[in-house]
Amino acid sequence: MNSRTEKTSFQDNAIRSARAILDESAVEAFDIAVTLGSGWGQASRMIGETFWEQDAKNLPGFSASGVLGHAGTLRAVVTPSGRNVLVIGARTHLYEDKGVRAVVHSVRTAAACGARIMVLTNGAGGIKGHWTPGTPVLISDHINLTANSPLEGATFVDLTNLYSTRLRDVARSVDPNLDEGVYVQFRGPHYETPAEVQMAKVLGGHIVGMSTALEAIAAREAGMEVLGLSLITNLAAGISPAPLSHQEVIDAGESAEAEISALLAKIMAKL
């Protein structure tokens, strides 16, 4: 199969998913899409009124969430100002071995649904020592260490200002104290070694995780403006002397969820 045929295939998959979502939700188009990572789940109820919800596994191209802490659903929410938001609570991670297309399918579907702004959130490890668990930070750029790309064939996409300066300024108008950093995506599912964290630091990274970068690239390819936020759920390996665990990520997310979800809702009201 040549690259042109393959590209048409993933575009068709996104269009089919978008048609199903638009038909079921009775929405002509969405204005904004948001992917809710670990710790951000309550935002779906704070952004506005949910008028449609569906299990991801019941929609074309989507599958059940493979990670504890993710809702596994898609929602249509209308904000108080009347904007339609597609809330994605079903993220596919690269380490689930479903392929890069599956990882970015939700973003491509959101674009096919008309969304021009893509908000990507996650729970991640912090390299800056003063970031305590529960701290929300803006993503200013990323380093992709997955050895993968969602782009196929000779598709050359500029990633300058991938994480929109304009949208980060909007976020800071809500909370001027928001710090920012460079997100480093590893493949996972194992946590990074202390040596790998030091490598990420030397390369200019401040946040380490297992999602987001590939999705952001796909969003840029689709012409979307991207805002990225990380919830620091733990200090990265070697920054903290304590061993890492997924339960720690879940616990930190649950402790901070109400506060950061309210922050996200306020930001999205201004987008």
For residue 226, count CB atoms less than 10 angstroms from its CB and return exposed for 0-12, middle for 13-18, buried for 19 or more.
buried
**pLDDT reported for residue 240:** 75
**pLDDT reported for residue 248:** 73
For residue 170, count CB atoms less than 10 angstroms from its CB and return exposed for 0-12, middle for 13-18, buried for 19 or more.
middle
Q: Are 234 and 248 in contact (CB under 8 A)?
A: yes
**pLDDT reported for residue 209:** 97
**Residue 4: pLDDT band with limits 50, 70, 90:** low
Mean pLDDT of 204-211: 98
Mean pLDDT of 226-248: 85
**pLDDT reported for residue 38:** 86
254 has catalytic annotation: no
Task: Output DSSP code: residue 188.
Answer: -
Instruction: Identify the H or E element spanning 61.
Output: none
Which one of the listed residues 192, 215, 225, 257 is annotated catalytic?
Answer: 192
Give 126-139 pLDDT, tens digit per residue.
Answer: 999 999 999 999 99
Q: What is the pTM of this model?
A: 0.94
Report the CATH number of the 3-270 domain.
3.40.50.1580
Q: Is the pLDDT of residue 78 over 70?
A: yes
Mean pLDDT of 18-22: 98
**pLDDT reported for residue 9:** 81
| Mean pLDDT lowest among 140-149, 212-221, 248-257 | 248-257
Q: Is the pLDDT of residue 1 over 50?
A: no
In the chain, % of residues over pLDDT 70: 95
> Exposure pattern of 15-49 as b/e (b: 16+ CB <10 Å)?
eebbebbbeebebeebbbbbbbbbbbbbbbebbbe
The distance from CA 83 to its chain's CA centroid, rounded to whole angstroms, is 20
Instruction: Identify the H or E element spanning 142.
Output: strand 135-144
**How many angstroms separate the CA atoms of 146 and 164, rounded?**
22
Give the residue with greater pLDDT, 240 vs 168: 168
Give 165-188 pLDDT, tens digit per residue.
Answer: 999 999 999 999 999 999 999 999
Task: Output DSSP code: residue 233.
Answer: E
**pLDDT reported for residue 231:** 95
**Residue 260: pLDDT band with limits 50, 70, 90:** very high
